[in-house]
Amino acid sequence: MSAVLAEMPKSDMSKTVMPATTKAIAPSKGGRSWTFYVLATLFSLYVVALYGPMFCIYVLSFQDIRGGLVFPMKGHSLHWFVDLFTQVRTGDVKGSFDRSIKLAVIVTIITVVVSFLAGLGFRKRFRGDTFVFYMMIGSLVAPGLVLGLGTGLLFQALGLNASWYTSALGAQLSWTLPFGVLVMFAVMSRFNHVWEEAAYDLGASRWQSIWLVMIPVLAPGLVAVALFGFTLSYDEFARSLQTAGSLNTLPLEIWSMTLNVTSPSLYALGTVTTIVSFIVIGASLGTIVLIQKKRGSQAKG
């Protein structure tokens, strides 16, 4: 066979063999069909649309003292970051940041605890469980501004002073709790109730079964609920507007700054808050990875 091939003229061979090979190779040569490129382009545009505006803010926040609110970029320095925390005219950034973090932490703790308990409660069906569930979901659909306005009015009617740690806390919980509970339901659905039964069989009390079995197994899910609670609270605006009282939370402060601050320190603030968000998200994901890694390394040992 090889002898026959060797004797054949070159041109002949390419004529007879080539068409078959090109056909066979074609799909792996191109690798991907045209739809891949269309969808990849679409996705790239989406990413640009998503992050482009924010990126403009970040870039403009690093201008020097001559900087303005629009491109082109004038020099580069950290001037507006210093300005942000030192100048009184830019507003109470430090105080509002402080309040927002505290509020977010309180909201997170309450959301995690209540969602976990709700998750426990909804393991079994009870009378009116669907009603309770829909009532809870209802506050997700209620417009935030209206809900905040109502909360503010109610506090006024009751003769209470609206403040970030009372009325705003309540208004924010009306938003974070349903979310937390929904996430918790998804997490709980993967919890096998036989584990609880096994713990009971081995002599664990209810507390021991929750503490030694449920919480550790559900830990990654609980971190996810915490993350939801924190981020939803940290940048909550609509519900806080009428309920925060005399002292602003950070989103309210930023909003008021957009009305009267005309310097890039506004952008610097955007950059700082974004960094905080990323730190929180990174810490949460890190915790989840750490939990899983700890289990993995234990396992290898």
Partner 1 sequence: MKSDRGDIELAGVCKSFDGATYVVDGVNLRIADGAYCCFIGPSGCGKTTILRMIAGHEDPTAGEIVIGGQNVVGLAPVQRRTAMMFQSYALFPHLTVRENIAFALRVRGQSKADRLRVSDAMIEKVRLTQFADRLPAQLSGGQQQRVALARAAITEPRVLLLDEPLSALDEQLRVQMRQELRRMQQELGITFIHVTHTQLEAIALADLVVVMEQGKIKQAGAARDVYAHPHDRYVAEFMGGQNVLSGRVEKVNGASFTLAQAASDGIEVPLQARATISVGDEVDIAVRRDDVALVRPGRDLPPGCTTSLPSRVLAIEYQGYFVKVMLDTVPDDEFVAYVPEKTFFADPFTVGDVVMATWATGSALPLA
Residues making contact with partner 1 (CB under 8 A) = 192, 194-195, 197-205, 208, 212-213, 216-217, 295, 298-301
Smaller CB distance to partner 1: residue 182 or 223? 223
Smaller CB distance to partner 1: residue 200 or 237? 200
d(CA 171, CA 245): 12
Q: How far is CA 199 from the centre of its chain?
A: 34
Smaller CB distance to partner 1: residue 129 or 197? 197
Q: For residue 277, what are its two tokens?
A: 């968000």
In whole angstroms, the minimum distance from the beta carbon of 290 to partner 1 comes to: 14
In whole angstroms, the minimum distance from the beta carbon of 221 to partner 1 comes to: 12
Smaller CB distance to partner 1: residue 165 or 200? 200
In whole angstroms, the minimum distance from the beta carbon of 291 to partner 1 comes to: 9
In whole angstroms, the minimum distance from the beta carbon of 89 to partner 1 comes to: 54
Smaller CB distance to partner 1: residue 216 or 282? 216
In whole angstroms, the minimum distance from the beta carbon of 122 to partner 1 comes to: 20
Smaller CB distance to partner 1: residue 62 or 116? 116
In whole angstroms, the minimum distance from the beta carbon of 180 to partner 1 comes to: 22
Helix axes 79-86, 93-121, angle to 10 degrees: 80
